[in-house]
Structure 1
């Protein structure tokens, strides 16, 4: 989605100026909806392909042991293991790249934007009808302020929907990265020391007097 420059102009004709802002806000929302619809096309295609491949490989991996019992085809059991491994790899790729989840997010976000756009269009139509029939209360400045409030709320709602979808994608990406192993165990991780353990001297806590080992009293002189 490209950033659109806010239209700047002369407010000598408020009606034309408000109409220009309405067109700008509407085109901004339509562009966001079209972007999510285009983005979901390739995600849906690859998600369905990977899930179909996972289903085919799973069926092949399950039926391979049964076929191996007949002895018709050699090495059938090994091909069954390979099919199950490929099915797991297909599902893992779908989850790692976020194809199915991204497809669902695109669908829900585009529908939410479409509903908000329709509500905005009806709100704007009601404001236009009120101005055509003649305002019963308030001045022209208050009417223009109401129209600007409708435009501002709509733009903020569109930005919130896009930001919410982006936040969900970031959380999913971080969760997927956190599942990856960050440190592989070295050859010294399971190393055990052979021999007697080293004696460790425990120091007393600060402020206490160390206890000396009890010594045998000296014996008297021999007679």
Structure 2
């Protein structure tokens, strides 16, 4: 899923947010056994950094979406409360201000619709789920890699060792891709559902000219 994440700049502050993109593929050498094993280590570090980048992106996106969700929901509560209190205050003071209550209630409904359509509340919860799942995959890979390094490979063909370690790296990358594609598919489905509901509600609204014509005249 393409998005932005915060990075730490040279001065220790937040650098410009960047898209979630794959890091450059490392340069590999395979002339000697030592170079081949070193290339496997480079691939392992590259795969781990891919996972770390994805986790950081989701955590940063979660912070932004959570802030937006809280602001919208706070506004919704304030507007709804104000819209409820205004008619009561108008009745107590014998003032003709009841119509303003509908204005505030409509604004509160608009905030709720904004949150639903743009998926702020659901998006940051999905970000948490995705980040936790990716962190679990990364930790599982690191345990498996540690077990591989502690394994006695004396007398074992070099190619077998390399293939086994490459399978671990490929498995991690495949699971990362599956999580990203699954989360993106969920986001797309939610956005399309919200857009379709918005279009259906817009079609169901009466036209301005028809709204002011009595039913007997239509």
Q: Which residue of 121, 131, 142 corresponds with 2:160?
A: 142
Aligned equivalent of 1:177:
195
- Measured after TM superposition, the shift of residue 6 of structure 1 is 2.7
Q: Which residue of 36, 58, 64 corresponds with 1:36?
A: 58
In structure 1, what is the Cα distance between the partners aligned to 2:157 and 2:60? Answer: 44
Aligned equivalent of 1:160:
178
- Measured after TM superposition, the shift of residue 45 of structure 1 is 0.8
Aligned equivalent of 1:20:
42
In structure 2, what is the Cα distance between the partners aligned to 1:88 and 1:107? Answer: 27
Q: Which residue of 42, 53, 57 corresponds with 2:75?
A: 53
Establish whether residue 121 from structure 1 lines up as the match of residue 139 from structure 2: no
Aligned equivalent of 2:90:
68
* 3-state SS of paired residue (2:22): coil
* 3-state SS of paired residue (1:177): helix
TM-score by length of 2: 0.77
What is the alpha-carbon root mean square deviation over aligned residues? 2.2
| Deviation larger for 154-163 or 177-186 | 177-186
Aligned equivalent of 1:205:
none
Higher helix share: 2
- Measured after TM superposition, the shift of residue 39 of structure 1 is 1.2
For 1:35-77, what per-residue CA distance to the aligned partner results, in whole angstroms no more than 9, with x for missing partners? 11111121111110010111111112222222222126x3331
Aligned equivalent of 2:131:
110
| Deviation larger for 60-69 or 105-114 | 60-69
- Alignment: residue pair count: 184
- Measured after TM superposition, the shift of residue 10 of structure 1 is 1.7
In structure 2, the gaps of 5 or more residues are 1-19, 211-218
In structure 1, what is the Cα distance between the partners aligned to 2:97 and 2:170? Answer: 66
In structure 1, the gaps of 5 or more residues are 189-223
**In the superposition, relative to structure 1, how do residues 137 and 183 fare at CA in structure 2: closer, same or farther (>3 Å)?**
farther
Aligned equivalent of 2:9:
none
In structure 1, what is the Cα distance between the partners aligned to 2:85 and 2:155? Answer: 77
In structure 2, what is the Cα distance between the partners aligned to 1:80 and 1:136? Answer: 80
In structure 2, what is the Cα distance between the partners aligned to 1:89 and 1:137? Answer: 70
Q: Which residue of 5, 28, 34 corresponds with 1:9?
A: 28
